[in-house]
Structure 1
Amino acid sequence: MEANSSDMFTVRRLGELTELVGAGLAPYLRYSPGPEADASHPSTDHESGLLMPGLSVNPLPAPGWWTLPLEDWLARRVCQYLRELREGAYPWILSGRSVDFGPDNEPLLVDVRPVAWLSSQVIVEAKEHYHARLRAGESTH
């Protein structure tokens, strides 16, 4: 990695994250102990125990079919892995080079460049936004 967490700023509002993603400066989200811990090893597929060739991340830019506001998409993405917080992980945004994909079709990155931490306020705001604007948790069946 080219930077460590001391070089990172903190995103404090969902609107600020929306601006960063819209400008192409925050392409991926990761929940983990942080850049330093991740620099020592790639992600592991927990079911097989196999090491993957990069860090497992979630893309933040909305796909082409998404016609709602970007902020709606980002609230959904931030809330997708909140269970990781209970396991001691922290949300942070990063960039890097995609080299493959993981078991959930998520990109696996190398040449990782940490960008910013997400504050707890962003998490709270994303949860509120997600539940107010989208049908959070509804079954697809």
Structure 2
Amino acid sequence: MTADMRTVRTLAELAELTRSGEAPYLRYSPGPESDAEHSSTDHESGLTMPGVSANPLTAPGWWTLPLEDWLARRVCQYLREVDEGARPWLLSGREVDFGPDNEPLLVDIRPVAWIAPELVEEARERYTTRLNAGAATHRDH
């Protein structure tokens, strides 16, 4: 399954895959083969969820900055999981429900590509230089 997966190396390439709809989701996990063995688990309740959790990459309608800025933000959102042994990869699938963080839960997973370390670094650089990374979200104006 993962032997024939390509690797996406730039935000521009990721943007192209996102725009085309080929890779509308990002996941951090050991990989597709591991995920095929079981659904995601809600760590707080211990309940098994009806699919694997994923992060949607399509920017919302209110987003008027470049898509690459949105993608950098999404790639950087769960980087802490890399330290826990996860690896970022792109996928498509069918949404069946949502998880505790309101993330889509997917079945009928189709792995698309791995995210290269250099894309993660490009995303981190773009996220911290172009956006107010880590700003408080509780002050609505």
**Count of residues in Structure 1 that have an aligned counterpart in Structure 2:** 138
Q: Distance in 2 between matches of 1:44 and 1:68?
A: 34
CA RMSD of aligned residues (A): 0.6
Residue 7 of structure 1 deviates from its aligned partner by: 2.1
Give the partner amino acid of 1:119. A
Q: Distance in 1 between matches of 2:25 and 2:137?
A: 25
Q: Distance in 1 between matches of 2:137 and 2:76?
A: 17
Q: Distance in 1 between matches of 2:53 and 2:20?
A: 22
The two structures have a TM-score, normalised by structure 2, of 0.96
Q: Distance in 1 between matches of 2:136 and 2:109?
A: 34
Q: Is 1:58 the counterpart of 2:55 in the alignment? A: yes
Residue equivalent to 1:27: 24
Give the partner amino acid of 2:54. V
Task: Specify which of 88, 91, 104 is matched with residue 88 of structure 2.
Answer: 91
SS state of the match for residue 67, structure 1?
coil
SS state of the match for residue 5, structure 1?
coil
Residue equivalent to 1:46: 43
1:95-139, Cα deviation, whole Å (9 max, x unpaired): 000000000000000000000000000000000000111000011
Q: Is 1:7 the counterpart of 2:18 in the alignment? A: no
Q: Distance in 1 between matches of 2:89 and 2:68?
A: 17
SS state of the match for residue 6, structure 1?
coil
Give the partner amino acid of 2:53. S
Q: Is 1:81 the counterpart of 2:78 in the alignment? A: yes
Identity of aligned residues (%): 72
Task: Specify which of 121, 125, 130 is matched with residue 124 of structure 1.
Answer: 121
Structure 1 unaligned blocks of 5 or more:
none
Displacement over 3 Å in runs of 4+: none
Task: Specify which of 34, 37, 50 is matched with residue 34 of structure 2.
Answer: 37
